Each structure stands twice: as structure tokens, then as C-alpha cells.
């Protein structure tokens, strides 16, 4: 590793030199605040990225197929269950972090072409330097606001859109509305898949409204989460999917989800619509 000196918040001179020397534990100034890089105490090749104090990503530098965050494993499992036949994968990641899922798909689907949209340009530069990301056209980082970038894209130009954008513990409202979801659907190919990571409290009010909104835009929906979350026992992640192609048709998906460190359940479209029944669809203000 190099001898990059961690920045102290408010000290613009104490910034790491982008020399491709790998991560160095510490706190660094970025455009939207600070990020922290911590060594994984259980994995000599692992690193944890926090953005403004909130855990954002985990990277194993020696193994891009290792996903330590359970919700990322659930996303990967659903994507792979939907594309058993192979073929091209044109992916758009809204929300960058350490680009864990982009690294994963670059390794599991070498033909994939991916764009990661990251609002924070400084963070994007640090991540590309630290974490040995595949270069364009395999993985391209585009600095910009997620909705503006999505609305600028050509119709039918992506097979997969993953929305994983947070400001603190919440996704900005403009990225949750029906109007935005319809833009995402426009950008997707005929059999494309839209996936969102919804962070919610035990009352699951946000997840119900997001499920209702995605169900309004797409013919088929699915939900993946662990049982405790689905029963409203804790704060956590709910993955909500939308597509014009039936979801949850692969019997192996349930087995994969149950086999993880945090077993998860998948709900089909009928169960999702029952869950979201009566919830208000989100609209632009």
C-alpha cells in the first residue's frame, strides 16, 4: 500500500494522492462531507467504506464475487435468476459507493457494460483509485445526479437499473416517485429489470408506498427481505423489483436466498400487491 495521508475534516490540504496505491484507513474530505475507510477486522483483503458516518459498501480486493452486505447478495441472486439464458447485460447503477455490485457483475458476467452514477465526484475518484475497478467500457463512473442522468438516457438502452441512493438513512424523494419510476421503465429494455434498495423502519410504511409505486409502473413486482424485516420487527433493507417479465419464476432463487448468512424470503407479485394494497403511490411534489 502507499503512504497516503488521511485527510482531517476541514483540512483541504490533507488529501490522498490519487496514485493507484490502494486504500489507506482514515477519514477523507469529499464533496458532500467525509468518507471513512476501515480495514475489515475479519478479512485481510476487506475494506469498509462509510459516507458521512453511514456504512456504504464493503469490498474484498482479492475477490469481487464476495458480497458482505446481505441486501447486495439478494440483488445479485435475483438478477442472476432472471438472466439464466445469459446474453448481454447493460447495467445502470444509481448510487456508487465503492461500486461493489458493479465489480461483482464485471466478474460474473464479463460481457456486461455498466455505468455507475455517483453524485460525489471526489468520492468517485477515490473509489476508482482505491478499489481496482474495471475500466471503461466495462465499468464507467459518471458523476451526476441520478434522476437527471436517468432522464437523459435513450429509451431501451439498459437491461438492469439498480437504485441504491441514500442521503443519510433515506432515499431522496425525487428518486422514489411514479414519475421517476416511469423514466426508469422507459430506459429499460423490453425484458429489463428495475431494482431498488428501500431502507425502512419497522412500520414498513415507506416500503409499502414504494411497492405500490413500482407496481403502478410495472406489470410484475417482487420483494426480497429477511423474515424479521417483513414482520416489522426492525429497521433494515427491503429489495423491491419491477419488470414487464414475470419475476420469481426460478425455483432455485428461494433456495439461494435461504442459504445466506441472513436468510431471506421472496414475495411474488400477488403477495407484493397485497402488501401494498391501500398504500398511496408516491408522486412528484
Asked whether the beta carbons of 183 and 215 are under 8 A apart, the reply is: no
Q: What's the pLDDT tens digit per position in 42-88?
A: 999 999 999 999 999 999 999 999 999 999 999 999 999 998 656 77
Residue 145 has pLDDT above 90, yes or no: yes
Mean pLDDT of the chain: 91
pLDDT, position 20: 55
pLDDT, position 56: 94
pLDDT, position 11: 45
Section 192-220 average pLDDT? 97
User: What is the pLDDT confidence band of residue 214, given thresholds at 50, 70 and 90?
Assistant: very high
Residue 17 has pLDDT above 60, yes or no: no
Separation of alpha carbons 238 and 96, rounded Å? 19
The pTM (predicted TM-score) of the whole model is 0.92
| Torsion (CA) 89, 163, 84, 266 in degrees, nearest 10 | 180
Helix, strand, coil shares of the chain, percent, nearest 5, are: 30, 30, 40
Residue 132 has pLDDT above 90, yes or no: no
Q: What is the CA angle 70-170-35, rounded to 5?
A: 75
Asked whether the beta carbons of 27 and 36 are under 8 A apart, the reply is: yes
Selected residue with higher pLDDT from 36 and 168: 36
Q: What's the pLDDT tens digit per position in 222-250?
A: 999 999 999 988 899 999 999 999 997 88
How far is C-alpha 248 from the chain's CA centre? 20
Say which CATH class 70-276 falls into: alpha beta
What is the domain partition of the chain in residue ranges? 70-276
Selected residue with higher pLDDT from 21 and 270: 270
pLDDT, position 204: 96
pLDDT, position 140: 97
Asked whether the beta carbons of 124 and 118 are under 8 A apart, the reply is: yes
- The beta-carbon contacts of 48-53 under 8 Å, at least 24 apart in sequence, are 49/97, 49/98, 49/127, 51/97, 51/120, 51/123, 52/168
Separation of alpha carbons 195 and 223, rounded Å? 10
Q: Which of 81, 36, 72, 76 is nearest to 54 (CA)?
A: 36
Residue 13 has pLDDT above 60, yes or no: no
Amino acid at each position: 500500500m502507499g503512504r497516503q495521508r488521511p485527510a482531517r475534516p476541514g483540512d483541504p490540504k490533507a488529501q490522498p494522492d490519487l496514485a493507484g496505491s490502494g486504500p489507506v484507513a482514515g477519514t477523507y474530505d469529499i464533496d458532500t462531507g467525509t468518507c471513512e475507510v476501515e480495514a475489515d477486522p475479519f478479512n485481510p483483503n476487506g475494506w469498509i467504506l462509510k459516507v458521512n458516518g453511514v456504512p456504504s459498501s464493503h469490498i474484498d480486493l482479492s475477490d469481487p464475487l464476495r458480497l458482505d452486505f446481505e441486501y447486495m447478495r439478494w440483488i445479485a441472486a435475483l438478477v442472476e435468476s432472471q438472466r439464466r439464458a445469459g446474453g448481454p447485460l447493460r447495467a445502470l447503477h444509481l448510487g456508487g459507493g465503492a461500486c461493489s455490485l458493479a465489480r461483482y457483475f464485471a466478474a460474473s458476467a464479463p460481457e456486461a457494460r455498466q455505468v455507475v452514477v455517483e453524485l460525489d465526484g471526489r468520492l468517485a475518484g477515490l473509489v476508482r483509485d482505491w478499489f481496482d475497478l474495471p475500466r471503461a467500457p466495462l465499468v464507467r463512473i459518471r458523476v451526476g445526479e441520478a434522476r437527471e442522468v436517468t432522464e437523459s438516457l435513450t429509451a431501451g438502452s439498459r437491461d438492469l437499473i439498480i437504485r441504491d441512493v441514500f442521503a443519510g438513512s433515506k432515499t431522496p424523494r425525487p428518486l422514489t416517485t411514479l414519475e421517476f419510476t416511469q423514466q426508469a421503465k422507459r430506459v429499460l429494455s423490453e425484458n429489463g429489470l428495475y431494482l431498488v434498495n428501500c431502507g425502512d423502519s419497522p412500520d414498513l410504511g415507506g416500503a409499502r408506498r414504494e411497492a405500490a409505486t413500482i407496481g403502478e409502473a410495472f406489470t410484475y413486482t417482487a420483494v426480497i427481505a429477511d423474515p424479521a424485516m417483513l414482520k416489522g420487527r426492525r429497521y433494515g433493507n427491503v429489495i423491491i423489483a419491477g419488470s414487464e417479465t414475470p419475476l420469481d419464476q426460478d425455483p432455485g432463487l428461494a433456495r439461494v436466498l435461504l442459504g445466506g448468512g441472513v436468510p431471506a424470503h421472496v414475495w411474488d407479485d400477488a403477495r407484493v400487491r397485497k402488501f401494498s394494497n391501500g398504500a398511496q403511490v408516491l408522486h412528484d411534489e
